[in-house]
């Protein structure tokens, strides 16, 4: 395989890193300094934004909630000012997953923060939560269950050591449960019972799978669980965590208050009061459905998971590489043929990397992954297989990839043959909008040159680029000896001309 200098460079972590968790209840930011495989926290910021309560039925944000969120992000952005690209990783979870792309909020949020924001899938959120929790616990290979209650979703994960084995994201959280079952802030036994039953129904499809997997320890993370642990400890109902009995006593104590505003329990912060009852009902549902008797509490969660992963880009790409490998094996992709296309694409990439400004270190990796997966759609049907492949890549469970990253990879797979899908790239982030079509052209040319599927080595052509003009040069006489390739290049030139790309070859 040809070696590209951009791929072989070792990525050195910046002097300072920042991880931002844009949750449905609160926004968190940690700023830390890398320290011999770990990190030293130098700043923490947290604001209760309650994004979930602003989600409208048409999947937009109420103006006042959007304004509140953007103001928070501007404050975070002031703290991050001057930090270089790659030193900040911000992820959005349940509520941001539900927003319509047309709402325009994400672009405003990125402008306020000054850094890109990834929208991650629920199971990817679960993986990062587990990574943060596992790194904060004593080293152990014993199986553990991790539970994290957010504003709009609850993640449950079973893992061993630093590896999650089973993970799910459930559509229930402290904000959503409070809004759904206690919309006017009135507490009744009937409402409490209904909320807990609704939580049980949400867990029911995965309950037996988790219970049969088994675990030795149970660990809870997130502000909701820490708040509950603080309250039950202050009442003297439990020490060192949360027990099923303490949770039942807390439930009964809450029923003594008629309104959220009346809740007066030692240890409960004022800002947590509007979503506390919803959080308790969610945790009670989890305890009951999974048969939990005792839960210890972790200070680490999603944001720490982000930091641990940021300590080395290589480590993060290992997760992504493993996800791609699993997909190639599951769909029995011809890896030898894909490898030849990958090698040619990398050679072409190396020839135009400067002229086409493809210097972001992530770009060659996405070109490689797209080359490896470009024929995945053949598992469905040969006709229009690029469309089947794009669907599979966009909707597969790919650990390590954010939703936009999967969308990028799917667009490259879709665009490797036939009509050039320029519209698929217009919705990408600003960082990729210009580069992605260019990567796609390199993949198209590499796939075209190996259309015969012959294992015989082919000469690498010389490619030069000037903005939207490409020139491809082959060894003297080679095209005359390969008339089918010449014909395919002529057709490719016509397809690219439609989207404003001029290709000449000789």
The string of pLDDT tens digits covering residues 149-161 is 999 999 999 999 8
What predicted TM-score, i.e. pTM, was given to this entire model? 0.78
Contacts of residue 437, Cβ cutoff 8 Å, sequence gap at least 6:
415, 420, 422, 425, 499
C-alpha to C-alpha distance for 414 and 416, rounded to whole angstroms = 6
- Which residue stretches of 353-434 are H helix? 363-373, 385-395, 403-414, 422-426, 430-433
C-alpha to C-alpha distance for 321 and 315, rounded to whole angstroms = 10
Angle in degrees, 0-180, between the axes of helices 435-449 and 483-498, rounded to the nearest 10? 160
What structural domains does the chain harbor? 5-120 (3.30.420.40), 123-302 (3.30.420.150), 313-457 (1.10.3210.10)
C-alpha to C-alpha distance for 59 and 410, rounded to whole angstroms = 24
pLDDT at 241 over 60: yes
pLDDT category at 12 given cuts 50, 70, 90 is low
Per-residue burial over 11-33, b if 16 or more Cβ lie within 10 Å, else e, is eeebebbbbbbbbbbbbbbbbbe
| Residue 403 in tokens | 């939703």
- Average pLDDT value for residue range 295-321: 80
User: What's the confidence (pLDDT) of residue 369?
Assistant: 97
Percent of the chain past pLDDT 70, that is, above it, reads: 96
Beta-carbon-side half-sphere exposure of residue 12 (alpha carbons within 13 Å): 2
- Average pLDDT value for residue range 103-118: 93
Contacts of residue 419, Cβ cutoff 8 Å, sequence gap at least 6:
495
C-alpha to C-alpha distance for 229 and 240, rounded to whole angstroms = 8
Which contiguous run of DSSP H or E holds residue 126? Answer: helix 122-136
C-alpha to C-alpha distance for 254 and 188, rounded to whole angstroms = 9
- Average pLDDT value for residue range 42-65: 94
Q: Name the burial class of residue 348, with classes exposed (0-12), middle (13-18) and buried (19+) by CB atoms within 10 angstroms of its CB.
A: buried
DSSP structure class, residue 59: S
DSSP structure class, residue 57: T
Centroid of chain to Cα 57: 24
pLDDT at 139 over 80: no
pLDDT category at 10 given cuts 50, 70, 90 is very low
């Amino acid at each position: 395989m040809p070696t590209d200098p951009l791929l072989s460079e070792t990525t050195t972590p910046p002097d300072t890193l920042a991880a931002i968790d844009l949750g449905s209840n609160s926004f968190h930011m940690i700023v830390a300094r890398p320290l011999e495989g770990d990190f030293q926290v130098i700043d923490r910021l947290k604001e209760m934004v309650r994004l979930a309560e602003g989600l409208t039925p048409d999947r937009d944000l109420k103006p006042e909630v959007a304004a509140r969120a953007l103001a928070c992000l501007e404050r975070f952005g002031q703290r991050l000012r001057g930090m270089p690209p790659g030193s900040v990783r911000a992820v959005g979870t349940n509520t941001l997953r539900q927003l319509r792309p047309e709402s325009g909020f994400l672009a405003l949020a990125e402008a306020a923060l000054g850094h890109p924001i990834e929208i991650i899938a629920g199971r990817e959120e679960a993986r990062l939560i587990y990574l943060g929790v596992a790194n904060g616990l004593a080293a152990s290979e014993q199986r553990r269950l991790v539970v994290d209650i957010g504003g709009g979703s609850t993640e449950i994960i079973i893992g061993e050591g630093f590896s999650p084995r089973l993970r799910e994201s459930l559509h229930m959280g402290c904000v959503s449960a409070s809004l759904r079952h206690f919309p006017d802030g009135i507490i009744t036994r009937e409402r409490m019972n209904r909320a807990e039953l609704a939580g049980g129904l949400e867990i029911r499809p995965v309950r037996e799978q988790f219970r049969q997997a088994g675990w030795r320890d149970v660990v809870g993370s997130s502000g909701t669980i820490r708040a509950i642990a603080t309250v039950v400890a202050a009442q003297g109902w439990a020490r060192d965590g949360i027990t099923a009995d303490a949770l039942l006593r807390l439930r009964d104590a809450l029923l003594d208050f008629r309104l959220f505003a009346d809740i007066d329990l030692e240890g409960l912060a004022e800002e947590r009061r509007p979503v506390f009852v919803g959080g308790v009902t969610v945790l009670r549902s989890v305890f009951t459905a999974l048969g939990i008797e005792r839960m210890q509490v972790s200070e680490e969660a999603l944001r720490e998971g982000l930091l641990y992963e940021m300590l080395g880009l290589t480590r993060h790409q290992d997760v992504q590489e493993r996800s791609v490998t699993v997909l190639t094996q599951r769909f029995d992709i011809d890896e030898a043929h894909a490898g030849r296309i990958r090698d040619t694409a990398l050679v072409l990439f190396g020839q135009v990397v400067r002229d086409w400004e493809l210097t972001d270190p992530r770009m060659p990796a996405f070109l490689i992954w797209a080359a490896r997966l470009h024929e995945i759609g053949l598992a469905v049907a040969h006709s229009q297989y690029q469309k089947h492949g794009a669907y599979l890549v966009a909707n597969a469970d790919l650990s390590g990839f954010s939703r936009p990253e999967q969308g990028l990879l799917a667009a490259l797979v879709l665009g490797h043959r036939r009509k050039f899908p320029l519209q698929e790239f217009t919705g990408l982030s600003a960082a990729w909008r210009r580069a992605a079509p260019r990567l796609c052209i390199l993949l198209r040319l590499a796939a075209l040159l190996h259309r015969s599927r012959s294992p015989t080595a082919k000469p690498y052509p010389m490619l030069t680029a000037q903005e939207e003009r490409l020139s491809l040069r082959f060894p003297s006489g080679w095209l005359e000896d390969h008339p089918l390739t010449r014909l395919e290049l002529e057709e490719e030139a016509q397809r690219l001309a439609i989207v404003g790309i001029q290709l000449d070859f000789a």
